[in-house]
Amino acid sequence: MTIQESDTDGGRRPGPGRTVDEILASATEEGRSTLKVLGELVGNEPASVASPAQFATRHLRIDPLALASTRFTGPSTSLSILGNLLRLEMEKHGERVVIGSPGDGLPPTWSQLDLGLDERGINRQVTVPGRLVAFFPAGTLAPAGLCILVDDRHWSREFAILSSTTDKSVAETLLASFRERLKSPDNPLRGRVLQASVADGCIRVGVSPAIDSRREGLILPEEVWREIDVFLAAATTRRDLLRSLGLGTNRGLLVAGPPGVGKTHLVRVIAASLVGQYTTILADAGSMRHALADLYAESDTFGPTLVVLDDIDLVLGHRDAGGDNSSLADFLATLDGVRQREDVLTIATTNDPKSLDPAAQRSSRFDMIVSLPMPDAASRAAILGRHLVPLGLPIDLHAMAEHLEGATGADVREVVRRAILEHGSSFTQVQLTDIALSGRWRANVNRRKYL
Ligand SMILES: Nc1ncnc2c1ncn2[C@@H]1O[C@H](COP(=O)(O)OP(=O)(O)OP(=O)(O)O)[C@@H](O)[C@H]1O
Ligand SMILES: [Mg+2]
């Protein structure tokens, strides 16, 4: 691969075996300045700040008027992933590829694409083209010679194939194949759990730490799991059937319930069960509030996508509650827009479904609403069991569960944590009962309110 930052090397030679320098060396002083002016007139710009278009016309050996650009402007993550595909192609074709300046006299720039932790817990990153133009001669990327321009600055985000107008259809086919590859294993983020946030008003998607939440760890009534299975069928067993009947494979699930009953845990179980098939995007509060439409647009980058909007009532309110309702209006409009997409699942969680606008609950926005109840005594005993069985202590779980009337799953977990903090791995039924009844496992202030 040859890196070329200015217009003075490479490109079309002005005569067989003669370089620009050789011609200039043999010219008179007057001839040299005339050639320079001519060069700048033809190129419109001083030679050292060649634009990608000038780079392309020179390498493709075409007239500027015969240059065509086949562009893709997509969500920000797609640019990084396309950049990664470009990197792979550059490596594949090695020395034959010529890299040029992205314009404005700047050198080619590269960005880091974070791939998250590998099996050994080491953070993996790849360096991908950020802003540059690359020339691929005929017979490398395509039968015809082409240039690819990538620009990942958030205000210009562009991936374009520069070709001669006669090769425009070749460029279009190539761009389509690049876009297809976004949804294939060539996209290293596809099928994983990602975390979305907003920076500079623009969605950033990064790899989230692995989720290993499993169903067995979450004690919920059978009917809740049945509903979850119906929801998941749209992504798994019934997906092809729904699609073949033209009934749509999108689905929205609203999970409601008081704090600490396992809503977030449930969402993580669902995301973990879809790893490899669906890409999960966990939206943070900023992206839910400011960039929801962009977040859904990221589904174009990944194919089948699960969008998780946890604690949605923190950013959305009721239309009648007064105040700024623009985020609610945006939210409703965005969910309506999602219907045009395919294979998008949405799960939102809320402490209080009534605080959500009835329009948001309407079946076309959320197909299902599942309420997680407070755990009954048997569930509390089972949750205690999840935490206590590994310790092998002789504790009567059902008796303990009776002492924890009104406690959520999160409360039960906190009682066990408090016992471990006070007594280590060995404590008695009496000690655990004392902690449960004393209430000292509770934080003194209402953390939910003040933190
Ligand atoms: N039914 C349950 N079975 C097992 N563990 C539970 C259950 N409910 C809650 N927990 C545990 O309690 C902790 C808190 O649960 P989680 O964060 O899912 O609650 P939440 O409903 O999302 O609460 P919030 O409304 O505050 O976000 C988690 O560690 C979770 O595993
Ligand atoms: Mg939660």
> pLDDT digit of tens for each residue in the chain (451 aa)?
555 544 444 434 444 556 656 665 676 666 655 555 455 445 554 444 589 999 999 999 999 999 999 999 878 888 889 999 999 999 999 999 999 988 888 889 998 888 887 778 788 889 999 999 999 999 999 999 999 999 988 777 889 999 999 999 999 999 999 999 988 888 999 999 999 998 877 888 888 887 888 899 999 999 999 999 999 998 889 999 998 998 888 888 999 999 999 999 999 999 999 999 999 999 998 888 888 888 888 888 888 999 999 998 877 765 555 545 566 677 777 877 777 788 899 999 998 777 666 766 665 678 888 999 999 999 999 999 999 999 999 999 999 999 999 999 999 999 999 999 999 999 999 999 999 998 888 876 554 444 3
Residue among 211, 264, 386 to mutate when testing ligand 1 (max atoms within 8 A of CB): 264
CA 370 – ligand 1 centroid, Å: 15
| Numbered ranges of CATH 1.10.8 in the chain | 377-449
- Name which of 378, 441, 448 is nearest 412 in CA terms: 441
Collect residues with CB below 5 Å from ion ligand 2: 263-264
Q: Which residues contact 291 (CB under 8 A, 6 or more apart)?
A: 196, 198, 201, 202, 203
- Name the CATH code of domain 193-371 (choices 3.30.450.40, 3.40.50.300, 3.40.50.10090, 1.10.730.10): 3.40.50.300
Q: DSSP alpha helices (H): ranges in 319-366? A: 326-338, 358-361
Closest ligand 1 atom, CA of 379?
Answer: 1
- Name the CATH code of domain 377-449 (choices 3.30.450, 3.40.50, 1.10.3910, 1.10.8): 1.10.8
Closest ligand 1 atom, CA of 351?
Answer: 25
| Numbered ranges of CATH 3.40.50.300 in the chain | 193-371
Neighbouring C-beta atoms of residue 342, cutoff 10 Å: 14
Residue among 211, 215, 216, 261 to mutate when testing ligand 1 (max atoms within 8 A of CB): 261
Q: Which residues pair with 289 in a beta bridge?
A: none
| CB 307, CB 295: distance < 8 Å | yes
Q: Verify whether ligand 1 is closer than 6 Å to residue 310 (CB atom).
A: no
Q: Verify whether ligand 1 is closer than 6 Å to residue 409 (CB atom).
A: yes
Q: Verify whether ligand 1 is closer than 6 Å to residue 374 (CB atom).
A: no
Q: Verify whether ligand 1 is closer than 6 Å to residue 228 (CB atom).
A: no
CA 350 – ligand 2 centroid, Å: 8
What tokens appear for 352 in the block? 């209080």
| CB 207, CB 115: distance < 8 Å | yes
How far CA 372 is from CA of 7, 162, 258, 271, 350, in Å, comes to 65, 54, 8, 18, 10
Smallest-distance ligand from the CA of 386: 1
Helix (H) or strand (E) holding 297: helix 292-297
Closest ligand 1 atom, CA of 266?
Answer: 18
Neighbouring C-beta atoms of residue 91, cutoff 10 Å: 10
Q: Verify whether ligand 1 is closer than 6 Å to residue 218 (CB atom).
A: yes
Q: Verify whether ligand 1 is closer than 6 Å to residue 348 (CB atom).
A: no
pTM, full prediction = 0.81
Strand order in the sheet with 202-207: 202-207, 193-199, 279-283, 305-309, 344-350, 251-256, 368-371
| CB 133, CB 56: distance < 8 Å | yes
At 273 the pLDDT is 93
At 21 the pLDDT is 60
Place of tokens 């002492």: 403
- Name which of 176, 172, 180 is nearest 146 in CA terms: 172
Q: Verify whether ligand 1 is closer than 6 Å to residue 260 (CB atom).
A: yes
CA 87 – ligand 2 centroid, Å: 39
